Chains A and B, each alone.
Chain A
C-alpha cells in the first residue's frame, strides 16, 4: 500500500491553491529588470575567455602562451598544469548505477576528448582582449583516432576514449520481468525497429554564466551563478576548489532558463574561481552561443532497438527496448538520462518486458539532463511501435491503448522499469483528447481527402511521467550527492507579512508565485503579503534545487510544515495578547479572530513576537520556522498528445494543422503556471521532433552546426496553436495532491506527430523510426518505398 500524506491543513479556510494568479516574477522580468549574471558589473571586474580544442580528439603536445601573456591587458593565463594540481575533478551528482565515474577536469589533462573541451584559460581586462589573447596562444595538437557515432563506438575496433576502461560502454543496466522471448513467440504479431533519436540542446536564453569574486584576506568567494541548484553548486565548488563551504557564497538572482543543463558545476566555473583567487578580482564569464554548442551539456541522442509483441485481440504480450545512449566524452554531473528505462512501460500493463540501457562514450560534448530526462525518447519509441502493431492487427489505435492501460483500480502499480505509479486515470486523458480533436470526424475527413489525392493523418502519444523523487533514502541507495527534500524558512516580518527563504532559484517556472500561494493558504494571509527570497545560499536552508519536476512537491511540503508552525505560534501569542483560549482563534486574511469576540491583526502579533514584550510563559521570541519535507513517493503525471497533419507526398512537406495536449498534474496550484510550463515544454518537444539536431560530421568528427544560424530552433511562427485540456486527479502521495508539471510537455508530442505522419501516409506503408521529422526525411521514406516497388 502507498502511504497517504497526512493533511493537516484544514480545508475550511480560504485557499489560494488553484487560483489563476499572475506571476509575481513578471513585475521585474517583463520590465527588463531581472538580474542575470551579465547584469552585474562590480568594480575591478575582469573577464575570462578560453582556448578550446578544435579537434574531436587530440593529444596536447605543447602550449606556447608567451604572446598572449605579453598582450597589454592580459592578467593571467592558466595552462593545464596550473590548475590540475590545484583543483579536484568535478563530482558527479547523480552517478550512473554500477558505473565508473569519469569526472570532468577544469582543463584537458594531456588529451582533449571532444571539440570544444577547454585547454587554456585567459583572464584580461575585457572579454575582447581575453579573446585576442586566446587567439595568440599556440597549442600544438596531435589529432588522435576518434569516434562520434554511438554504434561505431561499441564496435571491437573502436578507438577507446578512456584507455583504463578498455571499452566505451560505461555501463549496461538491464531490467526486466517475465519471459520476453517466450512472449514474442506467443504473440500474434511482432513489430520491431531501430530508432534514432537526435542530439539536441535545451537552449536557455541565458547561456551558462558565472561571476566569481574572491576577497583575499577574509577569504570569501562570492559566486553569482546561473544554476538550478545553488546549494549543490556551493558544495561542488568547495569540493573541487578544496575550500571549506563557509568560504563560498552562491547567489542566484534570476536564471534565464536552465532545462537541466544548469545542474552542477562545469569546468568553466572552476576556472573563473581559480582566476579570481589568483587575481583577487571579480572574474566574469558569460558563455557565448559558439561556446554553448561546444561546452554546455547536450541531450537525448540514443539508438533504440525495440520490439513489441501483441495478441490479435490487441493485448501487449511482450515489449523490449535495448538502447544505447550517446553520452559524449565523459560524465556530466547529471548525465546520462535514466528515465527511458524507469518509465519504459508508460501507461500500459504487460506481462513480459525488458529494457536495457547502455551508456556509451563518444568524442562529443558530454550529455546531461534535459527536461524529460529520457522520457521523450522512450515514449516516442513505444508509442510509434504501438501504432504500428495496431495497424498490423487492424485495430484502432485508441482501442489498443484502452485495452492495455493500467486502470485506476490497479493502482498503486509496480512497473517493470522499477517505478511505482501512485494513481491516475490514463484513459480519461486519451478519451478527452480523442473527443476534443474530433477523432471520428478526422477519420471521415481523411477518407475524403484521400479520394482527393490529399493525405491527412491523426496521431496520438500517451505518457506517464515520473515526477519528484521517492525520498532521500532512495537517492542514498543510488549514491546521489543530494537528498530528495526541500527546506524553507518562513519568517514573519514586522509589517504583518511573511518572508519565505528558499534555495530554489528562479529559473522561470515561477516558484515565487506558487510558493507564495501555498504559504498564504497555510498561514492565513493574502499572497500579496508573502515575499519569497530565493536562490542565495546565504540565508536559505540547504536544499536540493529545481529539477526532476520535484520542486513544488517537496517545496510545498516544507512550506506547509513551516507555515503551520508559524501560524500556530501566532495563534498562541495572540491568545495570550487577547486573553482568550487558543482553540477559539482563527487566522484568515491577516486577522486573528476569537469566537469569543476579540480580534487582533497578524501584524500586531508579529510585532509583539519580535519585541517579545508580551509573550506567553515559556514561549521564545520571534515568529519563524524552518522545516524540511522529504517526499514519501514519486507522483506520476500523465496524459495524451494528439496531432493532425497534412502531408504532400510529392515533396515530403507537411503541416501540423492541430496540436492538442490533455494532461493530469494532480492539483493545479496555479493553472496559469501549469499552462506556461506546458507551452514551453511542448515548444521544446516540437523543436526536437521537427527541427533541431546537433550534427557531427562522421569523417572529420567535427561539429557541423554549432551556431544559431544552423541549429534550427523553432520560432513562434513555426509552432501551431497549442490546445490544452486537463483532468485533475489529486495524487494521494504528495502534499496538496500535486504532481510535477515541469517536464510533461516534452514527452509525447514527438510520438503524436510521428504517428500522425505514419497515419497520413499509411497507403504507402511508411514506417517512421527517427527524429527529427523533416520534410526531407518524409520524402526519403516515400522514395525508399517507391524504389522498393
Chain B
C-alpha cells in the first residue's frame, strides 16, 4: 500500500492550481483532505503523474453569508462545518448530516469540495447538497460556472468536473426550513447503506411547502426524489401521503447490491427511512426547533 511515483505540487492560489491542472492535461489530482485520495493512491487504484496540494490556498475555506445564501469554500473541513455557528443557525441540516461522516479523524481532514468531487453515491455532503438545492461553483482557467447539485453528479465517483476544473465553493440557499436526516449504516460512522434527508418550509396552516426529499446509497448518485417531493409539498405529511411518497421514492431508486447490503434490503428500507425522516421533520416542527 504505497503509491506509485508522482510529482508533488503545492499550489499557493486557485489560479496556480488551475494552471497546474491545465499543464498536466488531466493527469493530475487535487489533494484536499486526502481522506479518499490517499487511500486510492496507496492502493494504486489511482496513479496520476502529479498530486496538486491545495491545502495552502488562502481563502478557500471560508464560510460567508451573502444575502439569502451561504457560500462555503471548497477546502472547508467537515469539522468546521460541524461546529460553525453560522451553519448551526442557517443550515442545520449540514451540521447534523456531517456527523454521519466517518469518525473524528476523518472529519478533521476531509473537506466539502473533496467530498463533492469524490462523489461517493453514499456521501452525506452530496446528499445534503442535493436536499438543500445547493449550487456547486466550478472554476477553470476558462472561467467559472455554477452547477446545480442535482446535475453535478453523473455516477459513482463521477461528476461533471472536467479534468482542468476544480470546485471552489458551494452555495446554499437559506430559507426558513425545517430539516431532518435518517441513515442506516452497518456500523457507527460507516458509509450509508441508505440515507434520507428532507427539507421543507412550514406553512401557516400546519402544512408544508417546497418539500425536498433526497436519498443516498440507492442509486449511482444521491438522488432527489422529484415526484415524492412534489407530492409532499402542499400537504401536512399525512401518513397515507408519506406512504405514497415512500413508494415514489422507491420507484425512483435503483439500489446496488454490495457487501453492505443487498438491493432488496435497500429497497425495503427506502419507504421506512422516508417515513422516519418525514416524521422527524414533523416532530421538529412541533418542537419549534431547527
Contact = CB atoms under 8 A, between A and B. Distances in A.
Interface residues of B, number: 24
A1 to B, nearest CB: 50
A783 B264 CA distance: 11
Contact of A715 (B39, B188, B261): B188
Contact of B1 (A290, A714, A780): A290
Interface stretch (A105-113, A127-135, A483-491): A127-135
Given A135-B44, A290-B1, A714 B272 contact: no
B184 A132 contact: no
A26 interface: no
A682 B94 CA distance: 36
Interface in A83-136: 127-128, 131-132, 135
A775 B265 CA distance: 9
B136 to A, nearest CB: 26
Interface string A132-174: 1001000000000000000000000000000000000000000
B2 A691 contact: no
B188 A779 contact: no
Interface in B163-192: 184, 186-191
Contacts of A313: none
Nearest to A694: B259
Interface stretch (A548-556, A624-632, A662-670, A704-712): A704-712
Contacts of B184: 651, 653, 775
Interface string B22-61: 0000000000000000010001100000000000000000
Nearest to B4: A132
B4 A710 contact: no
A525 B77 CA distance: 56
A131 B2 contact: yes
A712 B2 contact: no
A290 B2 contact: no
Nearest to A690: B187
B187 A715 contact: yes
B268 interface: yes
Interface string A286-325: 0011100000000000000000000000000000000000
A650 B268 CA distance: 9
A609 B43 CA distance: 60
A717 interface: yes
A131 B272 CA distance: 47
A715 B103 contact: yes
B262 interface: yes
Nearest to B103: A715
Interface in A742-789: 774-776, 779-780, 783
B269 interface: yes
B123 to A, nearest CB: 14
A776 B266 CA distance: 9
A293 to B, nearest CB: 12
B273 to A, nearest CB: 8
Interface in B127-164: none
A111 B58 CA distance: 56
- B39, B43, B187, B188: which has the most chain A beta carbons within 10 Å? B187
B47 to A, nearest CB: 9
Nearest to A687: B187
Nearest to B265: A776
A410 interface: no
A24 interface: no
B48 to A, nearest CB: 15
A691 B5 contact: no
A776 B262 contact: yes
Interface in B250-287: 259-262, 265, 268-269, 272
Contacts of A705: 259
A651 B189 contact: no
A695 interface: yes
Interface in A657-709: 691, 695, 704-705, 707, 709
Nearest to A697: B259
B186 A691 contact: yes
A82 interface: no
Contacts of A780: 265
A718 interface: yes
Contacts of B272: 650-651
Given A710-B259, A715-B103, A132 B186 contact: no
Contacts of B5: 128, 132
B1 A289 contact: yes
A236 to B, nearest CB: 27
A695 B260 CA distance: 11
A128 B3 CA distance: 7
Contact of B259 (A131, A652, A704, A783): A704
Contacts of B190: 712
A12 B209 CA distance: 82
Contacts of A709: 39, 191
Given A132-B4, A779-B268, A695 B259 contact: yes
Contacts of B265: 652, 775-776, 779-780
B1 A712 contact: no
A776 B185 CA distance: 11
Contact of B187 (A135, A712, A779): A712
Contact of A128 (B2, B39, B189, B269): B2
Interface string A398-430: 000000000000000000000000000000000
A780 B265 CA distance: 8
A712 B262 CA distance: 16
Nearest to B42: A288
A652 to B, nearest CB: 8
A290 B43 contact: yes
A695 B259 CA distance: 8
Nearest to A287: B1
Contacts of A128: 2-3, 5
Contacts of B268: 651, 779, 783
Contact of B188 (A651, A652, A717): A717
B4 A135 contact: yes
Nearest to A653: B184
B2 A774 contact: no
Contacts of B189: 715, 717
A712 B4 contact: no
A256 to B, nearest CB: 17
A651 B269 contact: yes
A776 B257 CA distance: 12
A285 to B, nearest CB: 13
A398 to B, nearest CB: 32
A223 to B, nearest CB: 23
Contacts of A717: 187-189
Interface in B186-203: 186-191
A743 B43 CA distance: 34
B49 to A, nearest CB: 14
Contacts of A131: 1-2, 4, 44
B285 to A, nearest CB: 24
B269 to A, nearest CB: 6
Interface string A709-733: 1101011011000000000000000
Given A650-B272, A651-B272, A776-B261, A718 B188 contact: yes
Contacts of A653: 184
B4 A774 contact: no
Nearest to B191: A709
Contacts of A776: 261-262, 265
Name the 3 nearest CB pairs between A and B, nearest first: A717-B188, A288-B1, A776-B265
13 contacts: A135-B4, A650-B272, A651-B269, A652-B265, A704-B259, A707-B43, A710-B259, A710-B260, A712-B190, A775-B184, A775-B265, A776-B261, A783-B268
Interface of A: 127-128, 131-132, 135, 288-290, 650-653, 691, 695, 704-705, 707, 709-710, 712, 714-715, 717-718, 774-776, 779-780, 783
Given A776-B261, A776-B265, 16 more contacts: A128-B5, A131-B2, A132-B4, A132-B5, A135-B44, A288-B1, A650-B272, A651-B272, A652-B265, A653-B184, A691-B187, A705-B259, A712-B186, A715-B188, A717-B189, A779-B268
